[in-house]
Amino acid sequence: MNPTVHIVDDDADFRDGLAWLLDSRGLPTRSWSGGDMFLQSLRPGNPMWECCVVLLDIRMEPLSGLATFEQLKAMGWPWPVLFLTGHGEMSMAVAAVKNGAWDFLEKPFQNNLLVDKVEAARQAALALQADSQERLLFQQSLAALSAREREVLDQLLQGHYNKNIAEHLGITPRTVEFHRANIFEKLRVNSAVELAHRMGRLA
Amino acid sequence: MTEPSIDFAVLDLDTRQLSVLNRRAMAWLVGMLLLVTVSIVLLALFLRTVEAQEEDRRRTADAQWLDQTVRFHLRRLEADLGVLALQVQRSEEPAPPALPGGQLWRSAQAIAWHGWLAADRQPAVAAWPPFLQSAARHPDSAEALSAMLKTTRGLQRAAYAGPLPQAGDSAVQMLWLAVPVFERDRFLGDYVAAIRFDRLLDSVIPPWFFKDHAVALDADALPVAAAPPDKPSLYVAPVNLPGAPLRLRVDALNSRPALAPRIFFGIALACLAGMVVALYFLRRDTARRQRAESQLQTQMALRTAMERSVTLGLRAWNPDGRLLYANQTFCRMVGLAPSDILGHAEAMPYWPAGQGDEFELLLQSARLPMAQQVGVEMQLRHSQGHLLDVLAHGAPLTLGDGRVIGWMGSVLDITERKRVERLAARRQELLEASGRLIAVGEVASTLAHELNQPLGALSSFANGLLNRMRAGTLTLAEVTPVVERMERLAEKAGRVIQRVNAFARRQEMSLQPLALNEFIARVAGQVPLPDGLELQLRLPEQPLTLPADALLLEHALHNLVLNATEWAVHGGQRPARVRISLEQDGGLAGIRVEDSGPGVPPEQRNRIFDAFASQKTGGMGMGLSICRSIIEAHHGRIDVATSDELNGAQFTVWLPLTP
């Protein structure tokens, strides 16, 4: 799993320079000459939605970095976005970070520091991806539970013992134990505590 | 110019008070009139009594006088008859006594008959002399005559009878008189005389009495001393003759009452009438006065209210510059009581030193022609120490005949206005400064961005190279294009710097047709003028239009005019002047800015357009160089010379009329 770094800048020299630099540290890059081009390439299901990092130049024509970012957010873009800012655009960049951007990088940069920051963003993207995959799996397992197992699970989460659950659902405690074992297996948990923890984190 | 008159009557504030006054005045007036009337009536009554008394007195006197006069003459006649009787005794022919005899003998036929009637012939009427007999035909007369004769004999004194009507002529009344003669107590007889009564009166009463009175025998037996009501002038005077009580009817013909009382009365009446008339006029005058007074009060109230409501400080001086009056607003303005201000001839407590004499300033401003009276700006000191900016106006207080009796001054507090103006100017400055800062920021930001791009790319390429060299993953084939690229980037950065320089000198221009007359007037109107500076515009009739970037050209011209106004006041001329003119010379339009300042020395003329060569303290020295850049960007030029007329600097901007 090696997340791509998308460089979005309307200045070809800058783009190429940055690509050359990131490449020298072994980061896979892809260059875009403008925010609009980048946005057009993003169609759901497209591999672009895979784990990646975006570097957006804040001052671009016709679509500025901020506008591009807004559109990304509107699409529900999950991955880190870093702004490339020049002198006098700091305040804009700070506002963008508060608005959900990952970080900003000031031009001209201490270049290896920039690469470090991009790398950190990539790691974060990877973590995010792993997290989201785990959640996806858990959600799928939850969806795979039968209706009776769902009921038993709800009772378990409320902290009832098997005997009480049996009374509530009008089934035998033996059957409850059977369902419980199934639920633990399907959701890949070993204890009721772990089950509660994962439910809180992922469901 | 006629002032609009206000009908103060509708503003009458004290009609009630006035009506009270009126009622009181009316009461007094009625009282006075009553008094006068009563006086007149009393006077009239008094006069009447006085006159009646006077009349009575006169009548009594007249009656007594008549009585005495008639009796005197008749006694005289008695004496004469006595003499005649004696003559008869001496057997002489009786004759009327020679003069001096009584009045009766002298008057014409007053005595109708006289004769001796002896005692022995008396009892029988038939024995009487014929005249007597004829008189005694009437039984009444006979009886009266007999009674007379008896009386003479019995009482031994003269007796009268009558007046009796004469026989055959009843109109003629006769008064009979018999004078007895005794000789040692023996009665001899009577000497009888018949006196025509009318002639008796004529002869004994002097003519002056007849002028005023008609005297006749009273036949109607009027009561004595009382006039009949229909003839108030009539009265009866009794003449008591023995045997014949006569009653004379006296008629005062033109009985004029005494003049003096009437005159006095008349005078009194005239006085009273005069008083009434005077009262009437006084009343009218008082009413008018009251009206005027109430109007005056109303006006005063109105004026006071007005004076209190105005926000102008008002003051009045006498011609010598002594302050006579200051309104409340002024006192409030300077925080002093009127007593602190009025009557001071020396320096006023509110007058800060160093402004000259206030009164003089005001007089100067008031003597200017009306069109130039814009007021004098001065400062006053509040009693608490802070200064006020005020605008003062002066005007003479002129009487109807044009005499100036003093001066009036108004003071408008413009401290707030000045403060606001200063604030606005400060704001404007700040705005301009921030505008400049923003512009500088924009330029800097653009510059930074333009340079950041190539520099950032350069450092990226360089760092990428270094990373690869350190990692040992670099191939020569890769190096060349990257280094070439780096070289191109460095060049690009250089070009950016050049472009920025060019941008700083000469921005992109948009040329639009510009009408110069309006343009110059607009720019001139925006320049702040120092006090006492005259700005003249000399623009041609013919409109001139040329292609220009209005914003840039405005900046340049504004700079030139601003410089001129700042330098003009440093010349020796007063008033300081700046003139902007426009002329055409072939295909060029010339905008000329001249001033009356010290001018530009010839040795400096080449340097003044250079940057950082300001002659002003605190000047950046960018003004004229920017001007020149803008004008050269318009393919024009700017000349500097000495103004022919104003003797200061003269800058001329020549611009082509066609692009």
pLDDT tens digit sequence for B403-413: 888 888 888 88
* CATH number of the domain that residue A193 is part of: 1.10.10.10
User: Residue A199 and residue A177: Cα distance in Å, rounded?
Assistant: 20
- Using CB atoms, pick whichever of B463, B473, B482 lies closest to residue A112: B463
pLDDT of A8: 92
What secondary structure letter does DSSP report for B510? -
Picking from A182, A184, A179, the residue whose alpha carbon sits closest to that of residue A198 is A184
Question: What percentage of chain A carries pLDDT values higher than 70?
Answer: 93
Nearest-angstrom CA–CA distance, A27 and B653: 62
pLDDT confidence tier of residue B613, bands split at 50, 70 and 90? very low
Annotate B136-160 with three-state secondary structure: CCCHHHHHHHHHHHHHHHHHCCCEE
Q: Which residues between 138 and 157 in chain A have a beta carbon less than 8 angstroms from any beta carbon of chain B? A: none
In this structure, what DSSP letter does residue B96 have?
P
Mean pLDDT within B619-644 = 75
Angle, in degrees to the nearest 10, between helices B15-89 and B259-309? 170
Task: Decide if A59 touches B, using CB distance below 8 A.
Answer: yes
Q: Is residue B30 part of a domain?
A: no
Asked whether residue B255 carries a pLDDT value surpassing 90, the answer given is: no
Enter the DSSP assignment of B9.
G
Does residue B600 lie in a domain region? yes
* Residue B604, C-beta contacts closer than 8 angstroms, at least 6 positions apart: B615
Using a CB–CB cutoff of 8 Å, tell me whether B456 touches chain A: yes
Domain boundary among A110, A133, A156: A133
Q: Are residues B179 and B243 in the same domain?
A: yes
Answer whether residue A60 is part of any domain: yes
Is it the case that residue B227 has pLDDT exceeding 50?
yes
Chain A CB within 8 Å of residue B408 CB:
no
Number of domains chain B is built from: 4
Of B2-11, B366-375, B469-478, B540-549, minimum mean pLDDT range: B2-11
What integer pLDDT is reported at residue B591 of this predicted model?
93
Q: Which two tokens stand for residue B498?
A: 């050049």
CB-based contact A65:A56 (threshold 8 Å): yes
- Residues with Cβ within 8 Å of B435's Cβ and at least 6 positions away in sequence, in order, are none
Q: Which of A110, A117, A5, A25 is nearest to B468 (CA)?
A: A25
The DSSP 8-state label assigned to residue B268 in this structure reads H
Cβ contact A17–B468 (<8 Å): no
Cα B330 to Cα B313: distance, rounded to the nearest angstrom: 4
The pLDDT tens digits of the residues spanning A152-184 come to: 888 888 888 888 888 888 888 898 889 988 888
Same domain for A159 and A69: no
pLDDT surpasses 50 at A134: yes
Query: Residue A105 corresponds to which amino acid?
Result: L
Domain that residue A196 falls in: 145-202
Q: Which residues of B touch A83 (CB under 8 A)?
A: none
Question: Do B83 and B193 fall into the same domain?
Answer: yes
Over residues B558-566, the mean pLDDT reads 84
What integer is the mean pLDDT of B311-319? 85
Query: Residue B495: pLDDT above 80?
Result: no
Of how many residues is chain A composed? Answer: 203
Q: Could you identify the residue written with the tokens 């209210």?
A: B305
Residues 6+ apart with CB under 8 A from B221: B247
Q: Report the residue of A5, A7, A18, A20 to disrupt the B interface, i.e. the one with the largest count of B CBs within 10 Å.
A: A20
Mean pLDDT, rounded, for B431-454:
64
Percent of chain B with pLDDT over 90: 4
Residues B383, B458: one domain?
no
* Distance between CA atoms of residues B427 and B598, nearest Å: 32
DSSP string, B536-600: EEE--SS--EEEE-HHHHHHHHHHHHHHHHHHHTTSS-SSEEEEEEEEEETTEEEEEEEESS---
Rounded-to-integer distance, Cα B272 and Cα B278, Å: 9
Residue B425 exposed, middle or buried by CB count within 10 Å (0-12, 13-18, 19+): exposed
On whether both B96 and B237 belong to a single domain, the answer is yes
**pTM over the 0.85 mark:** no
Looking at the complex, does the CB of residue B448 fall below 8 Å from at least one CB of chain A?
A: yes
Kindly report, residue by residue over B71-85, the tens digit of the pLDDT.
888 888 888 888 888
If asked whether residues A36 and A84 sit together in one domain, one would say yes
The C-alpha atoms of residue B568 and residue B536 are separated, in whole angstroms, by 13
- Is A140 contained in some domain? no
Any chain B CB within 8 A of the CB of A45?
Answer: no
Rounded (10°) angle between helices A111-144 and A12-24: 80
B119-137 confidence digits (pLDDT tens): 888 777 778 888 888 877 7
**pLDDT for B636 beyond 50:** yes
CB contact under 8 A, A87 and B452: yes
Tokens for B497, please give them.
């710097």
Cα dihedral B55, B57, B58, B63 sign: positive
Average pLDDT over residues B263-282: 83
The two beta strands, B588-595 and B545-548, are unpaired
Confidence of residue B593 (pLDDT cuts 50, 70, 90): very high
| Dihedral angle over CA of B147, B153, B159, B162, nearest 10 | 20
What's residue A28's pLDDT? 92
8 Å CB contact between B161 and B244: yes
Q: Of A73, A107, A133, which one is at a domain's C-terminal end?
A: A133
User: Min CA distance, A145 vs chain B (Å)?
Assistant: 53
pLDDT interval class at B432 (50, 70, 90): low
B468, containing H or E segment: helix B415-471
A88 located within any domain: yes
| Three-state secondary-structure class, residue B199 | helix
**pLDDT of B655 strictly over 80:** yes
Task: Give residue B345's pLDDT band: very low, low, confident or very high (50, 70, 90).
Answer: low
**Which spans in B226-337 are helix H?**
259-309, 328-334
* Listed residues B485, B503, B521: the one ending a domain: B503
Same-domain status, A122 and A152: no
Same domain, B485 and B580: no
